[in-house]
Chain A
Amino acid sequence: MGAGHHHQLYLPGASAVHRLPPQCKLLAVFAFAVVVVATPRERFWAFGLYALLLAAVAWAARVPPGHVLRRMAIELPFVLFAFLIPVIGLGERTTVLGLSLSVPGLWAAWNILAKATLGVVASILLAATTEPRVILLGAQRLRVPSLLVQIAMFMLRYLDVILDEMRRMRVARESRGFEARDVRQLPAVARSAGALFIRSYERGERVHLAMLSRGYSGRMPMLGEVSASAAQWGVALLLPVSALAVLGLSL
C-alpha cells in the first residue's frame, strides 16, 4: 500500500483545462510539439512566445509552477547530454568563461534543450490535468491502435504490483544476508530478475484467462463516454493554432 503516491503526475482540479475531453488535449499537445520541432532554432523569440503560451495554459489550469518544475527532472539526462555537445563538438570555436566551446555544438545544445523543454512541459501539463486512465480513453478515441492502448493500460495497472514484487524479492535476498556490493553478486540479482520475469509472464497468462472469462474478444470495450463538442475542440486547439501563428510570423 501507499506505493505510487509520490510519483503522482495528476493534480485533481475542476479548471476549464481539466474538463476538456482527453482526445482534444492529446491532439493539442501533439500538434503543439510538431510546431515547436518545426521551428528554426535561430528564432529565439518564437520559443519565448511558446513558453508564454504554456504559462497561460498552466495558469488557466491552476497548475503551480513548482509542480511542473519538480516533474521536469525526467529531462535531466537530456540536459547533461546537451551540455556535453558544445564541449566535445567540432568546428568553429568560441570562448565562454574561459572554456573553449564549439559554435555548432552550442546551437545543437540550444536546439535540443529548448524543444525538449517545451515538449516536456506540455506533456506535464497534459498529465497534470488528465487522469492516466482518461488519457488512455482519449487515445482510444483518437484511434490509436488498440494493442498500444491495452499495453499502456496494463502498465498503468501493474507497475505498482511489479514494483512491490521486486521489493519483496529484495527483502528476501537481504534478509538472507545478501548485499549487492560488487559485480560478483550480479548473478544473484540476475536470477531474481529472471524469476520476476517468469512471475510477470505467469500473471499475464492468468490475467488473460480472467479477461476471457468476462467476454474479452481481442479489443477493449469503449468504457465511459468521452465525446467532444466542436467548442471543446476549438478551445483545445487554441494552443497549437497560436503556436502555428507564432511560427508563421517567425518565418
Chain B
Amino acid sequence: MNSPNDVNSLEVSRLAYAYPDGTQALFGVDLTIGRGERVALLGPNGAGKTTLVMHLNGILTAGHGTVTVGGTPVRKDTLKEVRRRVGLVFQDPDDQLFMPTVRDDVAFGPANMGLTGEELERAVKGALDRVGMLEAIDRPPHHLSFGQRRRVAVATVLAMEPEILVLDEPSSNLDPAARRELAEILRSLDVTVLMVTHDLPYALELCERSLILSGGVIAADGPTRELLADTELLAAHRLELPYGFAVPAPAEPA
C-alpha cells in the first residue's frame, strides 16, 4: 500500500457541474490529494460537497473538467476500476448497509470485484477487524447501534482495498464516545482519507490539511489549524466553531 509517492491519490481539475434542472453546483474545482494524506473538505450546507463527492467515483460525470484517481482518469470505460479505488462512505449507514447481515454487506464489494471463497472470507474478516466489528459479522445491521453501523459502513469499503477513503459527514449523529472511537479507527488506517464535514473540531483532530468548498469553488486550502484560526475566513463561508471552542492562531505562541 505504501508504494512510492509518485502518483497522487486524487486530482480534480477545473471540475464544473450543473444538475439537469439547471442548478450549477460546481464552478471549477481544483484540488490534489497526495498518497497517505488525511484531508478535510469543509463547507456550509449547499456548498456542493456531496456533488463533488459523487464525481469522485463516477456516479455523476463531469460536465467540464477531469477527475483522476491514483493516475486513472474517471471515464465511462474506467468506472469499474475507479469504483474499486474510491471507497465512498455515505452519510446514512442505513443506505450503505443494504444486505441482510454484516457479513454479506462487507462481502458485496469484493464479491463484485470477483473475489470468492477463502479469499472473500479473508477480505471480509480483515476489514471488520480493522474497524473492531469482527464479532458482529453474523448480525443483521438493524440490530447494531448507530456508531457500530457507521463503523461497519467504513468496513464495507475498506474490504475493497481502496486507494482513497471518502467519508460524507462521518461524525454526524454520533455520541461523543462513538465519535472518539471512529476517530481512533480513522487514524489507525493506512489509507488516504478525504473527510467531508462541517464538524470543525473533528477536522482539526483528524486532518492536518483542510479545503474549504464554498459557492462551488475551493475557497481556501491549507493547514487545518491555520484555517480554523482565521475567524474572518470562516465567517465569510458560513463556518463556525462550536461555542466556547477557539483555535489559537498558529503564529502566536500559545
Closest to A3 in B: B142
Q: Is the CB–CB distance between A214 and B95 below 8 Å? A: no
Closest to A133 in B: B100
Q: Is the CB–CB distance between B95 and A207 below 8 Å? A: yes
Q: A157-B142, A211-B108 are in contact. List 4 more A-B contacts (CB 8 A).
A: A203-B95, A210-B90, A213-B57, A222-B111
B131-159 to A contact mask, C-beta < 8 Å, 1/0 = 00000000011110100000000001100
Main secondary structure of the interface of B (DSSP, over half): helix
Q: Is the CB–CB distance between B90 and A209 below 8 Å? A: yes
Point out the residue from B104, B107, B112, B120 that lies within 8 Å of A216, measured CB to CB. B112
Q: Is the CB–CB distance between B143 and A213 below 8 Å? A: no
Bound-state Cα–Cα, A149 to B107, Å? 17
Interface residues of B (CB under 8 A from A): 54, 57, 59, 80, 83-84, 86, 88, 90, 92, 94-101, 104, 107-109, 111-113, 116-117, 120, 140-143, 145, 156-157, 160
Residues of B within 8 A of A224 (CB): 104, 107
Point out the residue from B54, B98, B117, B160 that lies within 8 Å of A211, measured CB to CB. B98
A104 is an interface residue with CB less than 8 A from chain B: no
Q: Is the CB–CB distance between A212 and B59 below 8 Å? A: yes
Point out the residue from A3, A210, A214 that lies within 8 Å of B112, measured CB to CB. A214
Number of A-B contacts (CB under 8 A): 89
Please judge, given known A-B contacts A161-B142, A221-B108, A222-B111, whether A214 and B160 are in contact too, CB under 8 Å. Answer: yes
Residues of A within 8 A of B109 (CB): 214-215
Residues of B within 8 A of A158 (CB): 98
A153 is an interface residue with CB less than 8 A from chain B: yes
Considering only CB atoms and an 8 Å cut-off, how many residues of chain A contact the other chain? Answer: 30
Q: Is the CB–CB distance between B108 and A223 below 8 Å? A: yes
Closest to A2 in B: B143
Closest to A5 in B: B143
Please judge, given known A-B contacts A133-B100, A157-B99, whether A223 and B141 are in contact too, CB under 8 Å. Answer: no
Residues of A within 8 A of B86 (CB): 213
Point out the residue from B98, B100, B113, B117 that lies within 8 Å of A225, measured CB to CB. B117
19 contacts between A and B (CB under 8 A): A1-B142, A4-B140, A156-B100, A157-B97, A158-B98, A160-B142, A209-B54, A209-B95, A210-B95, A214-B83, A214-B108, A214-B156, A215-B112, A217-B80, A221-B107, A221-B112, A222-B116, A225-B116, A225-B117
Q: Give chain A interface residues in 149-208, CB to chain B under 8 Å.
A: 153-154, 156-158, 160-161, 203, 206-207
A196 to chain B, nearest CB (A): 15
Please judge, given known A-B contacts A3-B142, A206-B90, whether A157 and B111 are in contact too, CB under 8 Å. Answer: no
Q: Is the CB–CB distance between B104 and A133 below 8 Å? A: yes
Which of A1, A136, A157, A161 is most buried by chain B, counting CB atoms within 10 A of its CB? Answer: A157
Point out the residue from A157, A206, A210, A215 that lies within 8 Å of B141, measured CB to CB. A157
A89 is an interface residue with CB less than 8 A from chain B: no
Point out the residue from A1, A133, A213, A221 that lies within 8 Å of B83, measured CB to CB. A213
Q: Is the CB–CB distance between B111 and A210 below 8 Å? A: no
Closest to A206 in B: B95
Residues of A within 8 A of B83 (CB): 212-215
Q: Is the CB–CB distance between A1 and B92 below 8 Å? A: no
Closest to B124 in A: A223
Bound-state Cα–Cα, A107 to B141, Å? 48
Bound-state Cα–Cα, A210 to B98, Å? 9
A199 to chain B, nearest CB (A): 11
Please judge, given known A-B contacts A4-B142, A206-B92, A214-B156, whether A223 and B98 are in contact too, CB under 8 Å. Answer: no
Residues of A within 8 A of B142 (CB): 1, 3-4, 157, 160-161
Closest to B98 in A: A207
Please judge, given known A-B contacts A3-B142, A215-B80, whether A157 and B98 are in contact too, CB under 8 Å. Answer: yes
Closest to B86 in A: A213
Please judge, given known A-B contacts A161-B142, A223-B108, whether A215 and B113 are in contact too, CB under 8 Å. Answer: yes
Bound-state Cα–Cα, A224 to B57, Å? 27
Bound-state Cα–Cα, A215 to B58, Å? 11
B124 to chain A, nearest CB (A): 10
A198 to chain B, nearest CB (A): 15
B251 to chain A, nearest CB (A): 41
Residues of A within 8 A of B98 (CB): 154, 157-158, 207, 210-211
Closest to B60 in A: A209
Q: Is the CB–CB distance between A157 and B100 below 8 Å? A: yes
Residues of A within 8 A of B92 (CB): 206
B241 to chain A, nearest CB (A): 30
Residues of B within 8 A of A215 (CB): 80, 83-84, 109, 112-113, 160
